[in-house]
Structure 1
């Protein structure tokens, strides 16, 4: 995952024995062009969030008739359900993220992904977006931070995927009818220098209820989830900016840079400066 990303790229992780323990685990990421011809039927064995960055055409799934689609739009490829598509004109440019894990069911209950019985619900499978840029940025960030060799990969992978799901919810052209889940609020405010107990108070939840909600949805406790979100941002900033380590520490919620450096080294396996040297282009 080192170096800069070209405009078109794809990444598939080599899954490790840790992977089954993660709440959500990444299976594929990328940005690529899709030629202007029909394809399918195809079936995936995991959820894939496919975002049209440019282009238009048609999409169908299950026994549904073709639906006209045009960028920016989110298309859900659901496990076990055949899908077909036909880009028109010069084709599509898409970004995408695939994932699986024990927390998918909880994410479906909270409206972050389509539930299995919603494959016939067009509003849940074909989702117009106000802009595709936030999703593309988040997928690029996720590709920057995913590294299965890290000791805390399961927590950082889950946190990065939930950030993507929250971003997709906020990018909908029409607000979702379901209330925001606690995990989305925790993702949004993870970089604030506040405790988990204060997070619970801000959400008007007892601390025990917040712990149960986060563990059920992500497979992590709130502390590990917040830490994973912060580390993802730190790794992304180290790899893509020239910000000082002290500035990055403050930006993600740590007032003491030395503490951040010790924490980062223990969780990632490299000190921040060594991580930057490894991930930056020559």
Structure 2
């Protein structure tokens, strides 16, 4: 005995330009019949939140599946899976496709080479899929956009839920973020962690989906933008605060990566943000609390 509910969508060309569209959603539980063997032309994330079953991969091996777990079904790759006889399992799935899938794969959020992924928890992933299910009501004019946004949320939730990810932070990334503004090379950062540069690159790419250099650069440029937008510090002082002793090099790097020079960035922000300059340098670790006040 099993119970199943599912809906399928056909987004139009305009919605496909969002980069990621949802093609279907389903919630099922019980002794479900096996799926496949079959091959699809899109991705499916199958979230198993309770029970056990099996997954047969194209190499002919059969793998035991124990909840909580994720099954990645990827385009062009045959798959065959099912719940264990008897009590079965509890699953939720979302079908999706789009140009953004390539970037999510490069960043490590989607793992074509790992069709079975152990999860620490499925609560956030199930919440994202439930959001898709709620949006699937007949006549919803926001259907395609709401479900697209929920697929982004689902991919983040699944990335965070991997048993190899840890609760909320990665110690290597935390340490790199702490030391991001020190004038250190990637080799020197690696040495501070007792790692080789290759080991550091592997660790950062696994956790953040990018190289250590790009990870550090993102933190530095983000902080530089905050200082340019919220203070009157000279560009040279901003450069030094984010780890660059050569302000000319910093300006060239900022211009290349941001698309505008530091001075121009400051001018735009100063024109866009009412209230003028602040006398307090923003502290990323302690954002202000906005309290509502009754209108006069």
Q: Please report the TM-score for the alignment, with normalisation by the length of structure 1.
A: 0.55
SS of 1:131's equivalent in the other structure is: coil
SS of 2:208's equivalent in the other structure is: coil
Gaps of 5+ in 1: 1-6, 119-123, 183-196, 212-252, 257-282
User: Residue 149 of structure 1: CA displacement?
Assistant: 6.3
Corresponding residue to 1:14 among 6, 10, 26? 10
Structure 1 residues 142 and 60, CA gap change in structure 2 (3 angstroms): same
Which position in structure 1 is the counterpart of 2:123?
Answer: 133
Which position in structure 2 is the counterpart of 1:111?
Answer: 108
Structure 1 residues 151 and 11, CA gap change in structure 2 (3 angstroms): closer
Which position in structure 2 is the counterpart of 1:100?
Answer: 97
Q: Distance in 2 between matches of 1:153 and 1:210?
A: 31
SS of 2:13's equivalent in the other structure is: coil
Instruction: Report Cα offsets for 1:105-133 as digits up to 9, x if no partner.
Output: 11110001124xx2xxxxx2211111122
Q: Distance in 2 between matches of 1:135 and 1:149?
A: 22
Measured on the aligned residues, the alpha-carbon RMSD in Å equals: 3.9
Corresponding residue to 1:180 among 208, 221, 224? 208
Q: Does 1:56 align with 2:84?
A: no
Structure 1 residues 102 and 208, CA gap change in structure 2 (3 angstroms): farther
Corresponding residue to 2:62 among 55, 61, 66? 66
Q: Distance in 2 between matches of 1:65 and 1:13?
A: 33
Instruction: Report Cα offsets for 1:225-244 as digits up to 9, x if no partner.
Output: xxxxxxxxxxxxxxxxxxxx
Instruction: Report Cα offsets for 1:150-176 as digits up to 9, x if no partner.
Output: 47944x444321111010011111118
Q: Distance in 2 between matches of 1:167 and 1:34?
A: 24
Q: Are the counterparts in 1 of residues 106 and 209 from structure 2 also a CA contact under 8 Å? A: no
Highest RCO, 1 vs 2 (Cα 8 Å, sep ≥ 6): 1
User: Residue 29 of structure 1: CA displacement?
Assistant: 0.9
Q: Are the counterparts in 1 of residues 56 and 80 from structure 2 also a CA contact under 8 Å? A: yes
- Count the aligned residue pairs: 187
Which position in structure 2 is the counterpart of 1:83?
Answer: 79
Q: Are the counterparts in 1 of residues 52 and 66 from structure 2 also a CA contact under 8 Å? A: yes
Which position in structure 1 is the counterpart of 2:39?
Answer: 43
Q: Based on CA coordinates, which of the two structures has the bigger radius of gyration?
A: 2
Structure 1 residues 133 and 149, CA gap change in structure 2 (3 angstroms): closer
Q: Distance in 1 between matches of 2:292 and 2:33?
A: 53
Structure 1 residues 24 and 91, CA gap change in structure 2 (3 angstroms): same
